[in-house]
Amino acid sequence: MNFDFSDDQKMLKEQVSKFLSDKCGYDVVRRVLESDELYAEDVWKGLVEMGLTGTAIPEEYGGLGLGALELCVVAEELGRVAAPVPFSSSVFLATEAIKLAGSEEQKQKYLPKLAAGEIIGTLAMAEGTNAPSPRTVKASLKGGKLTGTKMPVPDGEIADIAVVLVNTGGSGDKALSLAIVELNGSGISKEQLKTIDPTRGQAALKFDGAAAELMGAEGEGWDLVRRVLDGAAVWTAFEQVGGAETAMWMARDYALERYAFGRQIGSYQAIKHKLADMYVKIELARSNSYYGAMMLNDNGAELVEAAAAARISATQAYIYAAQENIQTHGGIGYTWEANTQFFYRRAKLLALSLGSPLYWRERLVTQLEARNAA
Amino acid sequence: MDFNDTQEEAAYRAEVRKWLDANAKRKASKKDTLDALSGADALQRAKDWQRKKAEAGFACITWPKEYGGQGGTSIQSVIYSQEEANYLVPTGFYDIGLGMCIPTVLAWGTEEHKARYVGPAIRGEEIWCQLFSEPAGGSDVAGLRTRAEKDGDEWVINGQKVWTSGAHYCDYGIVVVRTDPTVPKHKGLTMFIVDMKSPGVEVRPIRQMSGEANFNEVFFTDVRVPDSDRLGQPGDGWKVALTTLMNERLAVGGGGGADWSELVDLARDAELADGPAINNGAVRERIAQWYVETQGLKYTKFRTLTALSKGQTPGPESSISKIVSAPKMQELGSFAMDLQDIGGIIRDRDISAQNATFQNQWFGGAGYRIAGGTDEILRNIVAERVLGLPQDIRVDKNVPFNEMPKGK
């Protein structure tokens, strides 16, 4: 039984943790929240210099050639400090989509630049307030021209390239395809969106005949994007577990220092049980995330269930820890000055950004039904 | 990451399997169970199996060799249990004695105690029970009232214990009693080994609300115990009891019963007013939730096993198990009854879905949430030991026991 990260992976985790605790404190998150900055460029540059953007990119494309497990430990540390950087968009989504669906030429063209941090990538799926699916995606790709509006697109305003989910007119699930588009060309307008978490920028991208290339086979977009999301769900689960732990310890520390009715509020069972429940949910999420990591790394047969379980439990853990952290703080936790808000915002952002809990429960149960019938 | 054995573990597993193949019948399916036997025959079968295991060196694997154990590792013990679970063998009679009582004797007993009691317990010749809970001391077990008074070289015990599993077939028990009511409650307790066949020990089954009787109450009337059967010093009873209770939290795990896959089976069969239950969104949400919880516990256990496999002390993550599994057992039973609609109230093996397993589990879950530490006590333990939160203020902490207000 060796259900743990290796010593090398733990060492990488330490390095990332040390860098982020030096360079990405609450002051940085607040700076991005309160200013017009779209992301913490200084922190991003540091991550790029450490080679982390190329963690899981093969060496032949300029990456470090490490695997899914290394990205898990990086994700957890990014989540722990609520880092305001486009790591998930560029690494978990765009890079992985290109690795999965890109032609050799597309890989040669983009992966080395993504690895080196010369460009930032993203994945554009949603088109407003309906869940993206073969029934709702309308953006079209005809004759190399992309038309339609995608929003919200994570880091859409700073991204250089986007993998876009488009409708190519096939029937049913075959209606969708993936396209890749360079965002600095003509026929593209970008507009920053107002969202619940301004520490992670989101944009509306309007395409009006922008030059784009098909990526992967036509009609395979829905299948491909769901596979990309399965992987991203595992890494994001680690990010969520990291954030949830910070929220839990923040609540714990406050429960020790705050006195009410003549004693520490952490001595009341109403608070103790709330914190114990945070711990329970986080450990369930961590364990499910480990299994997701293992399936992702091995490309295992249970990846779909494992990714969905990791995603569902990590979302529950982070949402609960973030909201009950505010509750534990009482009034001070609801002020603008308090740092509790960073995690409340981020927890909900991450809960929705790869598809809501409704999507993931359905993906899980559909898979379980298929297995149960088999 | 992988779930593979190390070379040594694989070799040990092969050895275990070879022995089990030669001595027991492999289960045809996971749900395969031994034929039910009447009380005395079931006990004899369990005793025979325990003796066999001990002779082959597969009983109490981690205990020191000098007392009859194997001096093995925790992971070897786990491997044996994993493998044994695939065979039709009697279980249950020895869990408390070997899981809780004898470890307490090993930690606190004299050399004479260990020489006298450990060997027969390992070989299954003597079965042990634990006598802690009382009508007036459940979660606050230190509030117990059973008393022992010194009389020469003996102590005389009077009082009542409850929820004692197996008291009717046990040979010995460990009993915690009040020996000094003039000091605060935790300081006036002492632990004894008691011969369950002593005059004055009376065992009566407790009928649970489910209708079954799996536990007993035990009455002590002028029961005499020699001072030489004391575990630890007079007044140390609480410290000794904590050793047992720490082991209890490891022993009362699992829970078992129907889980998400049984619920999927039921949902496929069950017809709601608007169609098959499996197509109902609320049903699908619950299936997802319980799948996630079950898997989370499974892989939490794997994390613990990984630490054991590497010879490390496991982290505190294993403390979440019963907090999750006990309410799940109750709620899943309850929800599965909902799927049977009006007919869900029927509790009849021949009529109810899946032999009334859900109705039984709905009852059982109510008890499981209390046994071996209530949901609330377990949360206190996580909050205090894992998260470092302070204990609640205890108004009885420095008050002599005989001056404390007592309710019912």
A26: enclosing H helix or E strand: helix A26-34
Question: Is B394 a domain residue?
Answer: no
Chain B's closest residue to A280, CA to CA, is: B320
- Within this chain, domains A7-88 and A223-373 share the same CATH topology: no
A7-88: CATH architecture: Orthogonal Bundle (1.10)
Tell me, yes or no, whether B388 lies in a domain: no
Percent of chain B with pLDDT over 90: 82
A220's CB contacts (< 8 A; 6+ apart) are A101, A174, A177, A178
In a domain, B34, yes or no: yes
B239 and B195 inside one domain: yes
Residue B332 within a domain: yes
Q: What average pLDDT does range A266-295 have in this prediction?
A: 98
**B2 to chain A: nearest residue by CA?**
A2
Test B309 with A269 for CB contact under 8 angstroms: no
Same structural domain, B179 and B261: no
Same domain, B76 and B139: no
Inside any domain, residue B296: yes
Q: Given CB atoms, is A365 within the 8 Å cutoff of chain B? A: yes
Does B206 lie at the interface with A, CB-CB under 8 angstroms?
Answer: no
Q: Which residues of B touch A248 (CB under 8 A)?
A: 387
pLDDT digits (tens, 9 = 90+) for B52-84: 999 999 999 999 999 999 999 989 999 999 999
Summarised one tens digit per residue, pLDDT across range A299-315 is 999 999 999 999 999 99
Task: Tell me whether residue B407 is in a domain.
Answer: no
- The total number of structural domains in chain B stands at 3
A288 and chain B in contact, CB less than 8 A: yes
Residue found by looking up tokens 């890079």 in the block: A95
Do B183 and B246 fall within a single domain? yes
Domain residues for the domain of B301 are 253-370
Q: What are B130's strand-pairing partners?
A: B174
Query: Does the domain made of A121-219 have the CATH classification 1.10.10.10?
Result: no
DSSP A87-133: HIIIIIIIIHHHHHH--HHHHHHHHHHHHTTSS-EEEE--BSSS--S
- Domain A223-373 annotated CATH 3.40.50.720: no
Give yes or no for A369 touching B (CB within 8 A). yes
pLDDT in tens, A208-241: 999 999 999 999 999 999 999 999 999 999 999 9
Q: What is the pLDDT of residue B64?
A: 93
Residues B207 and B153 in one domain: yes
What does the pLDDT average to over B324-348? 97
Instruction: Give the residue numbers of B annotated as catalytic, written as ranges.
Output: 248
- B149 and B245 share one domain: yes
CB distance from B394 to chain A under 8 Å? no
**Is residue B137 within 8 Å of residue B143, measured between CB atoms?**
yes
Nearest CA in chain A to B79: A1
Determine, for residues B392 and A269 on separate chains, whether the beta-carbon distance falls below 8 Å: yes
Evaluate whether residue B315 is within a structural domain.
Answer: yes
What are the boundaries of each domain within chain A? Answer: 7-88, 121-219, 223-373
Q: Which of B75, B67, B72, B70 is nearest to B106 (CA)?
A: B67
Residues A249-259, mean pLDDT to the nearest whole number: 98
> Which of A267, A277, A360 is opposite residue B391, by nearest beta carbon?
A267
Interchain CB distance below 8 Å, A3 and B324: no
Structure-token pair, residue B33:
């169970």
* Per-residue pLDDT band at B257 (split at 50, 70, 90): confident
Asked whether the beta carbons of residue B264 and residue A280 sit closer than 8 angstroms, the reply is no
Specify which residues B229 forms β-bridges with.
none
pLDDT at B254 over 70: no
Residues 6+ apart with CB under 8 A from B7: none
pTM of the model: 0.95
Note whether A342 and A196 are within 8 A (CB).
no
Shared domain check, B75 and B36 = yes
Domain boundary among B206, B233, B250: B250
Domain end (from B219, B250, B281): B250
Residue window 343-362, chain A: list those with CB within 8 Å of chain B.
Answer: 360-362
Task: Check pLDDT > 70 for residue B248.
Answer: no
B133 and B246 co-located in one domain:
yes
Same-domain pairing of B140 and B211: yes
Selecting from A267, A290, A293 the residue whose C-beta is nearest the C-beta of B392 gives A267
Give the Cα separation of B57 and B61 in Å (integer). 7
- pLDDT band (50, 70, 90) for residue A97: very high
Give the tens place of pLDDT for each residue, A20-46: 999 999 999 999 999 999 999 999 999
The yes/no answer to whether this complex scores an ipTM above 0.90 is yes
A128, two tokens: 């407003």
pLDDT higher than 90, residue B317: no
Backbone angles phi, psi at B397, to 5 degrees: -60, -45
What confidence tens digit (pLDDT) does each residue in B28-58 have?
988 788 888 878 899 999 999 999 999 999 9
**Do B300 and A283 make contact, defined as CB atoms within 8 angstroms?**
yes
Residue A357 has pLDDT above 90, yes or no: yes
Say whether pLDDT at A205 is over 80.
yes
* Interaxial angle between packed helices A303-329 and A340-353, expressed in degrees from 0 to 180 and rounded to the nearest 10: 160
Structural domain includes residue B244: yes
Which is higher by pLDDT, B253 or B106?
B106
